[in-house]
Amino acid sequence: MRSACFRCWPRCDDLLQRIMVRSSPWPERRRQLAMTTDQPYVAVVGSGPAGFYATQQIIKKAPGCRVDLFEQLPVPFGLVRFGVAPDHPEVKNVTTTFCQTASSPAVRLLADVTVGRHVTVSELRRAYDAVVLAYGADDDRPLGIPGEQLTNVASARHLVGWYNGLPGCRSPVDLAAEHVVIVGMGNVALDVLRLLTASVDALAGTDITESALAALAESRVRHVTVVGRRGPLQAAFTIKELREQIHLVGTSAIWDGYPFHQLEPLLPDLPRPRRRLTELMVKSARSPRAAERRTWTLKFLRSPLEALGTDAVDQLRVGVNAMDGDHVVGTNQTELIPCQMLLRSIGYKGRQIDPALPFDAARGVIPNTDGRVHGAPGLYVTGWIGTGPVGVILNTMSSSFAVGKLVADDLAAGKQCDRVMHPDELVQIIRERGARPVGFPDWLRLDQAEEERGRRVGKPREKVVSVDEMRRIIWG
């Protein structure tokens, strides 16, 4: 019989072995067969920057290794697609490299698969030699103050997701507020400030969603106050974001009387990035621009105490702080800031997607040492779910490259999960549970459709914001 079907015999033999692996009642026998029939396989959970950068290093440093890239949405790229501001297209250019990685024969995208629902982390560890968790931080940190439940108190994360087309953030944002307060002084806060104060014409040629663009065109926002509990020397935003805001056409800064002149003697001793940022604030405070259509304020040394209002927020009560060296100390003074919308932007927080995972609920991270998850051989973590929401894409690239190399080194040293089945078997189980994994060629159909929709209205793309519509386009 073997001579009669000589050409297909290796394929049949491999299929027979896989059937034996799945049906064998002896775990050790199944493990041996799984290891002898396949090269190393790694599962990466999350297809944002952390997931893609880790994948790049794994296939580079571990030749012959295969990587399955899991993503809960039908679309890849994570925060590059849903977190980067629409008017920062240069940052989104990293997707060109990500597409090259996803097109590699060593990489398989499995999008529209939710780890924790369609498959558990424990199952992944039984089907892969290593599992890298890179699914980011999807929740936002609450302010924890009275009145936070009032109408028009929301997260900056929701606003960012709304104008970037994140399916879970489709509910409209009420922009009837004339005065908006943003609590937090990171880059996300300044992105939201810029989007709320920019002209619609400046955004029309970006990939902002048409629904968000239409809402911003009707916006009544006139002034935005950005509140930070620390001083200018501790502000977390970078000079690029502040410079963009200062030079934004149609807006002007109203500096709140902070004694910036007191910072000038400190400038020579500051690290270069902090010195340049502080010099820009000092210069802008010295030469304020004429009042424009929209204004904004950076209010330092203020801590939110209470959101006030009957049904909707109309004021924020803040405590006045002082700096004691590098430490913030409260005073007995308080102030009221008018606002009809209050946005919290004090950081994102990771979630536990599987009860079997170790998890630090207070920090919203998976405990790890240099990327190795505590007490779980073959399990790794990278990106914000391992470090918390710190740094920009460049920081994520560096840390994820290091974790990818670590995975490759551990595989070479024989430090891996105790794999007992082939990944294809697990994918079949996932299908039986109702998921229909979206591969990279499948996603390209949606990519092309979005670009075509964008061309019709003079934009790089018009994002599809409904998961059901995404699926209809992908599967025809």
Residue 42 and residue 128: Cα distance in Å, rounded? 5
Q: Within 86-146, where are the H helices?
A: 94-102, 121-127
How many domains are there within the chain? 2
Say whether both 192 and 224 belong to one domain: yes
Give every CB contact of residue 474 below 8 A, 6+ residues apart in sequence. 74, 438, 442, 443, 445, 446
The beta strand positions in 46-185, using DSSP E, are 66-71, 107-111, 130-133, 139-140, 153-155, 179-183
Cβ atoms of 122 and 354 closer than 8 Å? yes
Average model confidence (pLDDT) across the chain:
90
* CATH for 280: 3.50.50.60
pLDDT of residue 18: 43
Per-residue pLDDT, 15: 39
Please, are residues 257 and 302 in contact by the beta-carbon 8 Å criterion? Answer: no
Residue ranges in the chain modelled with pLDDT below 70: 1-38
DSSP secondary structure, 163-219, as one string: HHT-GGG-SPP----SEEEEE--SHHHHHHHHHHHS-HHHHTTSS--HHHHHHHHT-
Q: Identify the domain containing residue 324 by its residue range.
A: 142-346
- Say which residues have a Cβ less than 8 Å from residue 80's Cβ, sequence separation at least 6: 48, 49, 91, 92, 94, 95, 98, 393
Specify the pLDDT at position 38. Answer: 61
First-to-last alpha carbon distance for the chain, in angstroms, is 42
67 and 197 inside one domain:
no
Residue 294 and residue 370 in one domain: no
Choose one of 299, 323, 346: the last residue of a domain. Answer: 346
Are 230 and 217 part of one and the same domain?
yes
The two beta strands, 368-369 and 341-344, are unpaired
Which one of 320, 346, 372 terminates a domain?
Answer: 346
pLDDT of residue 418: 87
DSSP state of 266: G
Residue 12 lies in a domain: no
Closest to 92 (Cα-Cα) out of 107, 71, 77, 104: 77
444 within some domain: no
**Is the domain of 187 the same as that of 215?**
yes
Q: What angle do CA 367, 74, 396 make, to 5 degrees?
A: 35
Q: Can you give the C-alpha Rg of the chain in angstroms?
A: 25
131 phi-psi bin (left φ>0, alpha ψ -120 to 50, beta other): beta
Q: List, for residues 249-302, the tens digit of each pLDDT value.
A: 999 999 877 899 899 999 999 999 999 999 999 999 988 777 788 999 999 999
